[in-house]
C-alpha cells in the first residue's frame, strides 16, 4: 500500500535507515558538500560492502560542490559510481534519493542537497513516496537519463583535478559567492536548526487555579482609563503604545473584563502561553484555550491563537467572523504583514485592540491606519524612566575601528560574509572583552550579528576565564529557559545571542546590555534596549555598552534616547536624557559622529539603497506615500537631506530629462508644498480640493465657498481626522455643515495664513486664493502629479504623527 510522508527535519536519519538493506541506491544532488559526504560515509561504505548498486550524480553549477567532497566520495569505495553533470550555463537544481530493497521502494524528493545542514537540521522540505511502483520506476528512468547523459562525466582522479582547477578559478572570480555557499553549508552558519520548543505550561485546569485579586498598577491605570473612555465614546479600534516592561499583556487582560468572548493573537508561541496565564490570574472564572500548531481549542471564553495558524484559511474559518467581542493583537507593529491582514480582514469584532512597545515596523508600513489612527494611550521608555517605572541607563559608546564603508551593503543589511571577516578578529574580540570588563555589572545580555560571531565571542570570553553561553537557533546544549535561569542565578556571566530576545522575553535581573553589531534597525535596537530596563531589586541602573563604528544609522541611533527630539536637519550628538541617565562617548566616537553629521553621505547612500530596493519590489518608481509606507528608511530623512522627495529623485538621477526641466523650473513650489507649516491639516486639504479639479484646472484661483463642501467632508469623513483637527471649540460648531461658517474658517486660517508665509508663491485677496505659478502646457501633467503626491503624503503623515502623539504641533 503506497504511503506519502512530508519530512521537514532530519531527512538524513530517514536516508540512513533506508540504506540498510537497500540493493539499489541512487542520489541526485545539485551540489555536494564535505559535511554531507561525511554524514553518509559509513552507511555508504557498508552498503557498498554488502553489494548495493550505488550511483551518485552531482553538478558543477556555480561551482558550489566542493572538490574535497568529491575527493572524499571517491575514497569511500571504488564500487560507488559517481558522475558530474556539466551545466554549460543551464541551472542544475535536482535533489532526490532513491532506494530499492526487498521490503519496498522509496523515493525522497524535495529541497535537501547533500550537505549536513540540509540532511540534519536545516529548514528543508522533502516528500517520501513509498511503494508506488509506477512513480518509482519513472523516477529511476529519469535519474538514469540524467546520469548517463552526454553532459555528464565520470568522477575519477583526472576529472577531479580538472574540476578542482575550474573550481578555484571560479572562486577567485566570485570570492563572496563561493565563500558564502561553502560556509553556509559546510559550517552551518546562519541556517535555522532544530527550533527550541517553548516550554508550554499544562492546559488550564477546570476549576482554574486561584491567584487572588490582581489589580492594575503604574501605567496600566492610566492606559485602562483611556481605553475605557475610548469604549464609552463608541470607538471600535484602538492602539496602545507602552514601553517594554510596563505590563501590556496584563493591561489587555484588565480591559478584556469588559467582553464576553476574546481572541488574543500573537506571533510567538511562548507569548500565547504567557498571556493565557496572565489572563487567568485576572479572570480565573473564564475558560481558556490555545489555538496553534499543536492545540486546536476553539470552544473557550478566551482563545490564544498563533497568527501563523490563523493565516491558514481552514483554521481561520473554524470561527465565525463575528465570533469574538474583543480581538487583541500583541506586538501590533507586525500587524501590517499579510498574515495579520488576512485575519483582521476576516474578523468583525466589537472592538480591536493593538498593543505594542514599538509601533513603527522596520519597513515603516503604516499600522496606525489599522486602528483608524486612534492611539488611546502612549508612553515610551524615556517617559517611563522619568516616572521611575523603568530603570535609568548609563550608555557607553565604545569606538569600533571596523571600516564598514568597505563592506558591501545588501539592501538594509551588510553582506554577511564580509561582515564576518571584519568581526571575527581576536583584536576586536579583545577590545570587546576589555570594554565589557571595565563597564559591566552582574548579568549581561549581548546582541550579535550572526551565529558565528556569537559563538566566536562566547569561546573567546570562555577562554579568558568567564562563563558564557552562545544562545541561538542552532544551540542544542542549553535551552533558552535554562540559560535565563543560569544568568539570573549568576551561574553564567553573559548570554550572547542573535535576535532571540527582541520580543516577548522578560529577564528583569539583566543589568548590562552589550551591543557588538551594527544597528540596522532602530526598531529592533529599541526592543533590545528594553530588555535591560525592567525594575529589579538588585538593579539601580542598566549599563549599555555599545560598539559604534561608521555603519549606517550610527549617526541617528542616539536620537532614540532624546526626550526633546528635533525634526530639523541639525541635531546635537548628545541628546537630552531622562532623569538619572547618562551617556558617555569615547572621544573617537564623538569625532566619528561629527564627521558623519558633516558628510552625511552614509545616510544618503542608505536612502538611495532603500529607495532602489522598494523600486525593485514594486516594479516602478514609488510615489511619495508609498516610500513612506513601504520604504525601509524614514521618509522624513529624504526631506531633511534633499528638501523634497523630488529633490532626492533629482540627486539620484531618477528623473527623465523632461522631468529635470520641470523640477528645476518649479523647485521652489515643490519645496513650499513640502515645508509649509502644518499645525493642522487645513492647508493641504484646501490644496487637495484644488487638485480634485484635475491636471488642467488644479492651479486656477479658487474662493473659500468653492472649497467648503470638500473641506468639510474630508475632515468629517474619518473619525481620527475629525477628532484630531476638527474638534476644537470653533470647529466643533461646524460638525453639522454650515457653508458660511466653514467658508469663514477656510478664509481665516489656511488661505490667509498660507498667503502670509509663502514668500509670494501663494496669495489671498478679496476671497480669491491663488497659486502664483506660470505652468506651461508641457509641464502641466508632471507638476500636477508631483504636487498631488506631496499633498497626499503630507496629509497622511500629519494625521499619523498626530495620532502617535496628540501633543505634537
- Burial zone of 685 (CB within 10 Å; 0-12 exposed, 13-18 middle, 19+ buried): buried
Least confident of 387-391, 568-572, 603-607, 713-717: 568-572
Winning range, highest mean pLDDT, from 680-694, 718-732, 790-804: 680-694
C-alpha–C-alpha distance, residues 209 and 280, integer Å:
8
Distance CA 548, CA 543 (A): 15
Distance CA 742, CA 724 (A): 17
pLDDT at 9: 87
Strands 582-585 and 542-548: unpaired
**C-alpha separations of 304 from 27, 377, 666, 679 in Å:** 44, 24, 55, 42
Over its C-alpha atoms, the chain yields an Rg (Å, rounded) of 31
Report strand pairing: 81-85 vs 152-154. antiparallel
For residue 43, the tally of other CB atoms under 10 A from its CB is: 18
3: left (phi over 0), alpha (psi -120 to 50) or beta: beta
Distance CA 739, CA 141 (A): 82
Q: What is the pLDDT of residue 120?
A: 85
**Whole-number Å distance between alpha carbons of 170 and 152:** 20
* Mean pLDDT across 760-765: 94
Q: How would you label 296-327 residue by residue, b for 16+ Cβ within 10 Å and e otherwise?
A: ebeebbbbbbbbebbbeeebbeebeeeebebb
Percent of residues, the chain, with pLDDT higher than 70: 87
Strands laid side by side in the 262-266 sheet: 288-291, 302-306, 262-266, 326-329, 351-356, 237-242, 375-379
Report DSSP letters for 739-787, one per residue.
Answer: HHHHHHHHIIIIIHHHHHHSTTSEEEETTEEEE-----GGGHHHHHHHH
Is there a contact between 487 and 417 (Cβ–Cβ < 8 Å)? no
Average pLDDT over residues 613-637: 81
Backbone angles phi, psi at 164, to 5 degrees: -60, -45
Distance CA 544, CA 512 (A): 6
Residue position matching grid coordinates 453639522: 736
pLDDT digits (tens, 9 = 90+) for 5-21: 999 989 999 999 999 98
pLDDT confidence band for 212 (50 / 70 / 90): very low
273 in helix, strand or coil?
helix
Measured distance CA(482)–CA(478) in Å, rounded: 6
Residues 270-326 pLDDT 10s: 889 999 999 999 999 999 999 986 778 888 999 999 887 887 777 888 899 999 999
Residue 23 pLDDT exceeds 70: yes
The verdict on whether omega for the bond into residue 207 sits within 30 degrees of 0, i.e. cis, is: yes
| φ, ψ of residue 614 in degrees (nearest 5) | -70, -40
Q: How far is CA 340 from CA 105, 289, 368, in A?
A: 43, 20, 14
Task: Reply yes or no on whether the pLDDT at 708 is more than 50.
Answer: yes
Mean model confidence pLDDT for the chain: 85
Cβ atoms 789, 691 nearer than 8 A: no
DSSP letter for 558, please: G
Q: What is the pLDDT of residue 453?
A: 92
Residues 789-805 pLDDT 10s: 999 999 988 987 776 66
Tell me, rounded to whole angstroms, the distance of Cα 400 from its chain centroid: 25
Between CA 780 and CA 774 the distance in angstroms is 10
Angle at 485 between CA 479 and CA 489, to 5 degrees: 145
Instruction: Give the pLDDT confidence score for residue 361 in this predicted structure.
Output: 44
Coarse DSSP helix, strand, coil percentages of the chain, rounded to the nearest 5 percent: 45, 15, 40
- Distance, in Å, from the CA atom of 496 to the CA atom of 488, rounded to the nearest integer, reads 14
CA distance 525 to 517: 10
Q: Give yes or no for residue 166 having a pLDDT over 80.
A: yes
> In the chain, what percentage of residues exceed pLDDT 90?
50
Phi–psi pair at 367, nearest 5 degrees: -100, -15
Separation of alpha carbons 203 and 291, rounded Å: 12
Q: Which of 259-273, 624-638, 709-723 has the lowest mean pLDDT?
A: 624-638
State pLDDT tens for residues 343-394: 889 999 999 999 988 765 444 445 666 777 678 898 989 999 999 999 999 9
Dist. CA 550–CA 527, nearest whole Å:
22
Cβ(108)–Cβ(128) below 8 Å: yes
CA–CA distance, 800 with 378 (Å, rounded to integer): 14
pLDDT at 363: 40
The residue whose grid cell reads 548517463 is: 148
Query: What's the CA angle centered on 753, arms 751 and 754, to 5 degrees?
Result: 65
Instruction: Please state the rounded mean pLDDT for residues 618-628.
Output: 85
Contact predicate 47/19, CB 8 Å: yes
Pick from 236, 270, 240: which is nearest to 252 by CA?
A: 240
Any bridge partners for residue 393, and if so which?
A: 542
Check pLDDT > 60 for residue 61: yes
Transcribe 621-664 into DSSP letters.
PPPHHHHHHH-SS-HHHHHHHHSSHHHHHHHTT-S-HHHHHHHH
CA distances from 710 to 213, 222, 497, 682, 691 (A): 53, 37, 54, 11, 11
Distance CA 275, CA 267 (A): 12
User: Rounded distance, CA 111 to CA 94, Å?
Assistant: 8
Strands 512-515 and 542-548: parallel
Residue with the bigger pLDDT between 164 and 179: it is: 164
Which residues have a Cβ under 8 Å from the Cβ of 72 and sit 6 or more positions away?
34, 37, 38, 41
Instruction: Answer for the pair 604, 650: CB distance below 8 angstroms, yes or no.
Output: no
CA angle centred on 189, ends 186 and 191, rounded to 5°? 105
Through-space distance between the first and last CA atoms of the chain, rounded to whole angstroms: 73
- Please state the length of the chain: 809
Sheet holding 444-447, edge to edge: 468-471, 494-497, 444-447, 512-515, 542-548, 393-399, 582-585
Domains and CATH numbers, the chain: 3-186 (3.30.870.10), 219-379 (3.40.50.300), 393-599 (3.40.50.300), 655-804 (no CATH)
Amino acid at each position: 500500500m503506497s504511503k506519502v510522508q512530508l519530512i521537514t527535519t532530519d531527512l538524513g536519519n530517514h536516508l540512513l535507515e533506508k540504506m540498510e538493506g537497500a540493493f539499489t541506491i541512487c542520489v541526485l544532488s545539485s551540489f555536494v558538500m564535505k559535511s554531507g559526504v561525511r554524514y553518509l560515509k559509513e552507511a555508504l561504505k557498508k552498503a557498498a560492502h554488502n553489494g548495493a548498486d550505488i550511483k551518485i550524480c552531482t553538478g558543477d553549477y556555480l561551482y558550489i560542490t566542493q572538490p574535497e567532497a568529491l575527493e572524499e566520495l571517491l575514497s569511500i569505495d571504488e564500487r560507488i559510481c559517481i558522475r558530474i553533470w556539466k551545466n554549460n550555463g543551464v541551472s542544475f537544481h535536482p535533489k532526490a534519493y532513491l532506494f530499492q530493497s526487498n521490503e519496498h521502494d522509496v523515493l525522497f524528493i524535495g529541497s535537501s542537497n547533500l550537505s549536513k545542514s540540509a540532511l540534519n537540521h536545516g529548514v528543508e522540505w522533502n516528500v517520501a513516496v513509498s511503494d508506488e511502483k509506477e512513480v518509482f520506476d519513472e523516477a529511476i528512468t529519469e535519474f538514469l537519463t540524467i546520469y548517463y547523459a552526454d553532459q555528464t562525466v565520470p568522477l575519477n582522479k583526472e576529472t577531479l583535478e580538472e574540476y578542482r582547477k575550474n573550481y578555484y578559478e571560479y572562486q577567485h572570480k566570485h570570492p563572496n559567492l563561493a565563500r558564502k555557499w561553502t560556509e553556509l553549508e559546510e559550517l552551518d552558519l546562519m541556517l535555522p536548526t532544530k527550533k527550541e520548543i517553548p516550554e508550554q505550561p499544562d492546559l488550564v485546569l477546570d476549576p482554574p487555579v486561584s491567584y487572588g485579586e490582581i489589580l492594575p498598577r503604574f501605567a496600566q491605570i492610566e492606559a485602562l482609563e483611556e481605553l475605557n473612555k475610548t469604549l464609552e465614546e463608541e470607538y471600535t479600534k484602538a492602539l496602545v503604545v507602552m514601553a517594554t516592561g510596563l505590563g501590556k499583556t496584563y493591561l489587555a487582560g484588565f480591559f478584556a473584563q469588559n467582553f464576553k468572548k476574546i481572541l488574543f493573537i500573537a506571533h510567538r508561541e511562548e507569548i500565547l502561553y504567557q498571556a493565557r496565564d496572565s489572563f487567568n490570574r485576572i479572570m480565573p472564572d473564564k475558560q481558556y484555550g490555545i489555538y496553534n500548531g499543536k492545540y486546536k481549542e476553539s470552544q473557550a471564553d478566551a482563545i490564544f491563537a498563533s497568527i501563523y495558524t490563523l493565516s491558514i484559511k481552514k483554521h481561520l474559518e473554524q470561527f465565525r467572523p463575528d465570533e469574538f467581542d474583543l480581538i487583541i493583537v500583541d506586538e501590533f507593529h507586525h500587524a501590517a504583514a499579510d498574515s495579520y491582514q488576512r485575519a483582521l480582514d476576516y474578523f468583525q469584532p466589537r472592538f480591536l485592540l493593538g498593543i505594542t512597545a514599538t509601533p513603527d515596523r522596520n519597513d515603516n508600513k503604516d499600522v496606525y491606519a489599522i486602528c483608524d489612527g486612534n492611539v488611546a494611550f502612549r508612553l515610551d521608555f524615556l517617559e517611563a524612566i522619568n516616572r521611575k517605572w523603568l530603570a535609568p541607563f548609563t550608555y557607553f559608546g565604545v569606538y569600533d575601528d571596523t571600516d564598514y564603508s568597505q563592506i558591501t551593503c545588501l539592501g538594509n543589511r551588510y553582506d554577511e560574509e564580509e561582515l564576518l571577516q571584519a568581526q571575527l578578529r581576536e583584536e576586536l574580540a579583545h577590545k570587546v572583552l576589555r570594554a565589557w570588563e571595565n563597564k559591566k555589572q552582574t548579568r549581561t545580555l549581548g546582541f550579535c550579528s550572526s551565529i558565528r560571531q556569537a559563538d566566536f565571542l562566547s569561546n573567546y570570553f570562555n577562554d579568558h576565564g568567564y562563563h558564557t553561553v552562545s544562545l541561538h537557533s542552532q544551540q542544542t546544549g542549553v535551552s533558552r529557559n535554562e540559560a535565563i535561569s543560569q544568568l539570573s542565578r549568576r551561574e553564567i556571566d553573559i548570554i550572547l545571542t542573535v535576535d532571540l530576545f527582541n520580543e516577548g522575553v522578560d529577564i528583569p535581573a539583566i543589568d548590562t546590555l552589550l551591543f557588538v553589531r551594527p544597528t540596522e534597525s532602530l526598531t529592533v535596537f529599541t526592543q533590545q534596549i528594553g530588555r535591560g530596563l525592567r525594575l529589579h531589586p538588585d538593579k539601580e541602573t542598566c549599563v549599555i555598552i555599545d560598539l559604534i563604528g561608521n555603519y549606517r544609522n550610527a549617526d541617528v541611533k542616539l536620537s532614540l534616547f532624546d526626550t526633546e527630539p528635533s525634526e530639523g536637519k541639525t541635531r546635537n550628538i548628545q541628546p537630552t536624557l531622562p532623569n538619572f541617565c547618562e551617556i558617555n562617548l569615547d572621544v573617537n566616537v564623538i569625532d566619528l559622529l561629527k564627521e558623519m553629521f558633516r558628510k552625511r553621505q552614509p545616510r544618503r547612500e542608505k536612502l538611495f539603497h532603500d529607495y532602489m530596493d522598494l523600486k525593485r519590489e514594486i516594479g516602478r518608481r514609488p510615489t511619495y506615500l508609498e516610500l513612506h509606507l513601504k520604504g525601509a528608511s524614514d521618509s522624513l530623512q529624504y526631506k531633511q537631506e534633499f528638501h523634497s522627495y523630488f529633490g532626492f529623485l533629482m540627486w539620484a538621477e531618477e528623473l527623465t530629462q523632461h522631468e529635470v526641466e520641470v523640477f528645476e523650473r518649479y523647485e521652489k513650489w515643490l519645496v513650499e508644498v513640502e515645508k509649509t507649516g502644518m499645525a493642522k491639516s487645513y492647508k493641504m486639504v484646501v490644496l487637495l480640493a484644488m487638485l480634485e479639479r484635475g491636471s488642467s484646472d488644479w492651479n486656477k484661483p479658487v474662493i473659500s465657498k468653492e472649497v467648503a463642501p470638500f473641506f468639510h467632508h474630508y475632515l468629517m469623513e474619518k473619525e481620527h481626522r475629525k477628532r484630531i483637527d476638527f474638534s476644537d471649540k470653533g470647529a466643533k460648531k461646524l460638525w453639522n455643515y454650515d457653508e458660511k461658517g466653514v467658508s469663514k474658517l477656510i478664509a481665516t486660517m489656511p488661505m490667509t495664513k498660507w498667503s502670509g508665509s509663502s514668500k509670494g508663491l501663494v496669495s489671498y485677496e478679496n476671497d480669491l486664493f491663488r497659486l502664483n505659478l506660470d505652468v506651461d502646457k508641457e509641464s502641466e501633467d508632471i507638476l500636477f502629479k508631483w504636487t498631488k503626491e506631496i499633498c497626499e503624503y503630507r496629509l497622511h503623515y500629519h494625521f499619523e504623527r498626530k495620532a502617535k502623539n496628540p501633543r505634537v504641533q
